[in-house]
Amino acid sequence: MHDDTNRSTPLRADAILLIDEGPLRDKVVRCAESMGIPARATSASDECAALLQGASTPLLIVSCHLADRVPEQGDALSSLAPVILLIAENAEEHLARPIAPFLVVGEPEEAEGLASAVTLAAGEAVRVAEDLHEIQDHYERLASLSTEERQVMEAVCSGMLNKQIAREYGVSIRTIEQRRRRLFNKMEVLSAVPLASHVASVRTLERLHGRRARPIDCEQPRTLGVIPIAPAGEQGDASGGMLAGSSLMASSMT
């Protein structure tokens, strides 16, 4: 249940580069900008954090020897930004702590391989931003519900009928019907089926992106369970190595 009224143009990824000055940075900047993706570069952790939080749809491209400077904290969007990790031959020497990249590529010799990686990561960045937009939109609508309307929403999503809800809360069926109409109006659905589908969709997105995807000041209804994100080193495979949690390996792309 996206609300696109405040988004007149399609989302576009913003590339943030954590790469030292030099030929590699220049190559990555040229590649991103040739694809219409704005690119801003730094080699400092604090500046990288600021650039990530200032970007509307960030993706992060990191040289392996600066991986220990990847910001550990941030808002939901910057924390969940897909990471392209550029690997050199001696990469293991530079990875002081595990990170979970979206893509891993060799430090590019060919522009085509880098362009493929940036295209995939840019698509992921847009998808993450759209998912977070849907979650945010849900909680904004949820905040407009009264306690009684939330109770009806939980009951409806669990499959209860009006007469069962009325008996549960000791009110008339007519009262439940009125609350149900107000609920559907505020959540912008026509019936119980799309409401339950939307709640299930948001729950799936929260499980996918973890606790950081949820607005900080939200109230969490019982119908929306969340699986917390595992600490660094506990994601992905049991080894907790630098590739733990990778969704795609692309070292052969270069």
Residue 224 domain-assigned (yes or no):
no
CATH number at residue 87: 3.40.50.2300
What is the reported pLDDT for 61? 93
Question: Do 18 and 139 share a structural domain?
Answer: no
Phi, psi of 246 (to 5 degrees): -65, 135
- Evaluate if residue 170 carries a pLDDT over 90: yes
Q: Look at residue 162 and tell me if it is in a domain.
A: yes
Q: Are residues 78 and 146 in the same domain?
A: no
Model pLDDT for residues 98-144, shown as the tens digit of each residue: 567 778 877 666 567 788 889 999 998 998 888 888 888 999 999 99
Kindly report the CATH number assigned to the domain that includes residue 174.
1.10.10.10
Identify whether residues 97 and 140 lie together within a single domain: no
Provide the mean pLDDT of the chain.
76
Q: What is the pLDDT of residue 71?
A: 84
* Shared-domain flag, residues 164 and 70: no
Distance CA 203, CA 239 (A): 29
Residues 143 and 120 grouped into a single domain: no
Residues 33 and 147 grouped into a single domain: no
Do 29 and 85 share a domain, yes or no?
yes
Specify whether 24 is located in the same domain as 123: yes
Say yes or no to pLDDT of 207 above 90: no
In a domain, 226, yes or no: no
- Establish if 115 belongs to a structural domain: yes
In this predicted structure, what is the pLDDT of residue 145?
A: 95
By CB atoms closer than 10 A (0-12, 13-18, 19+), residue 226 is middle
44 in the same domain as 120: yes
52 lies in a domain?
yes
Q: What confidence tens digit (pLDDT) does each residue in 215-254 have?
A: 544 444 333 222 222 333 333 333 333 333 333 323 333 3
Q: Say whether both 181 and 100 belong to one domain.
A: no
Query: Is 2 a domain residue?
Result: no
Domain-embedded: residue 5: no
Q: How are the residues of the chain apportioned to helix, strand and coil, as percentages rounded to the nearest 5?
A: 50, 10, 40
Q: Are residues 102 and 164 in the same domain?
A: no
3-state secondary structure 56-115: CCEEEEEEHHHHHHCCCCCCHHHHCCCEEEEECCCHHHCCCCCCCCCEEEECCCCHHHHH
Looking at the fold, whether 80 and 62 belong to one and the same domain comes out as yes
The answer to whether residue 88 is domain-embedded is yes
Range of the domain at 239: 14-127+231-253
Token look-up 């891993």 returns 104
Tell me the pLDDT band of 86, cut-offs 50, 70 and 90: confident
Helix (H, G, I), strand (E, B) or coil at 192: helix
What gap in Å lies between CA 53 and CA 45, rounded to an integer? Answer: 12
User: How many domains does the chain divide into?
Assistant: 2
